[in-house]
Amino acid sequence: MGDWCLSLALNVNVIREDFPLIKDRKIVYLDNAATTQKPIQVINAISNYYMKFNANIHRGLYELSQEASKLYEEAHGVVAKFINAGSWEEVVFTRNATEGINILAQALVNRYLKPGDEVVISIMEHHSNMLPWIRLSETYGVKVKVVGIDSDGLLDYDELSNVLTPRTKVVSITHASNVLGTLNDVRRIAKLGHEVDALVVVDGAQSVPHLPVNVRELDVDFMVFSGHKMLGPTGIGVLWGRKDLLEDLPPVLQGGDMIKYVGIEVKGGVLINHRIIYNDLPWKFEAGTPNIAGGIGLAEAVNYLIRLGMEEVRAHEVELTRYALRRLDETLKDDIKILGPKHPELRSGLISIAFKGINPHVVASLMSTKNIAVRSGYHCAQPLHEYLGVYDGTLRASFYIYNDVDDINAFISSLEEVINVLSK
Amino acid sequence: MKVIDLRFKEPGCTGHPVVRLNNRLRELNEDRVLIRFNLEDIPLKALELLIGRYGYRVDEVRNVNDYVEVVAIKA
Ligand SMILES: Cc1ncc(COP(=O)(O)O)c(C=O)c1O
Amino acid identity, residue A262?
V
Q: Is B26 on the interface with A (CB under 8 A)?
A: no
Domains of chain A: 12-30+309-422 (3.90.1150.10), 43-306 (3.40.640.10)
Residue of A3, A1, A4, A42 lying closest to A21 (CA atoms): A42
Amino acid identity, residue B11?
P
Catalytic-residue membership of A5: no
**pLDDT value of residue A3:** 56
**What DSSP element (H or E) covers A183?**
none
Cross-sheet strand order for the sheet of A143-147: A91-94, A237-241, A222-226, A199-203, A168-174, A118-122, A143-147
Digits of tens for pLDDT over chain A (424 positions)?
A: 555 667 899 999 999 999 999 997 689 999 999 999 999 999 999 999 999 999 999 877 788 889 999 999 999 999 999 999 999 999 999 999 999 999 999 999 999 999 999 999 999 999 999 999 999 999 999 999 999 999 999 999 999 999 999 999 999 999 999 999 999 999 999 999 999 999 999 999 999 999 999 999 999 999 999 999 999 999 999 999 999 999 999 999 999 999 999 999 999 999 999 999 999 999 999 999 999 999 999 999 999 999 999 999 999 999 999 999 999 999 999 999 999 999 999 999 999 999 998 999 999 999 999 999 999 999 999 999 999 999 999 999 999 999 999 999 999 999 999 999 998 7
Q: Are strands A259-267 and A118-122 parallel, antiparallel or unpaired?
A: unpaired
Q: Is A375 in the pocket of ligand 1 (CB under 6 A)?
A: no
Q: CB neighbours of A179 closer than 8 A, spacing ≥ 6?
A: A124, A339, A340, A352, A379, A381, A384, A385, A394, A396
Q: Are strands A28-29 and A372-373 parallel, antiparallel or unpaired?
A: parallel
Q: Is A126 in the pocket of ligand 1 (CB under 6 A)?
A: yes
Q: Residue A128 C-alpha to ligand 1 middle, in angstroms?
A: 6
User: Which of B19, B23, B39 to probe the A interface (max A CBs under 10 A)?
Assistant: B19
Domains of chain B: 2-74 (3.40.50.150)
Q: Is A206 in the pocket of ligand 1 (CB under 6 A)?
A: yes
Taking CB atoms and an 8 Å limit, are B18 and A422 in contact across chains?
A: no
Q: CB neighbours of A51 closer than 8 A, spacing ≥ 6?
A: none
Catalytically annotated residue among A362, A380, A405, A410: A380
Is A86 in contact with A216 (CB distance < 8 Å)? yes
Report whether the peptide linkage leading into residue A341 is cis, meaning its omega lies within 30 degrees of zero.
no
Closest alpha carbon within chain B to A362:
B18
Taking CB atoms and an 8 Å limit, are A362 and B49 in contact across chains?
A: no
Detail the DSSP E strand segments found in B1-75.
Answer: 2-5, 32-37, 56-64, 67-74
Q: What three-state secondary structure class fits A65?
A: helix
**Given A369, A380, A424, which is nearest B49 (Cβ)?**
A369
Predicted complex ipTM: 0.85
Task: Identify all chain A residues contacting B53, using CB atoms and an 8 Å cutoff.
Answer: 368-369
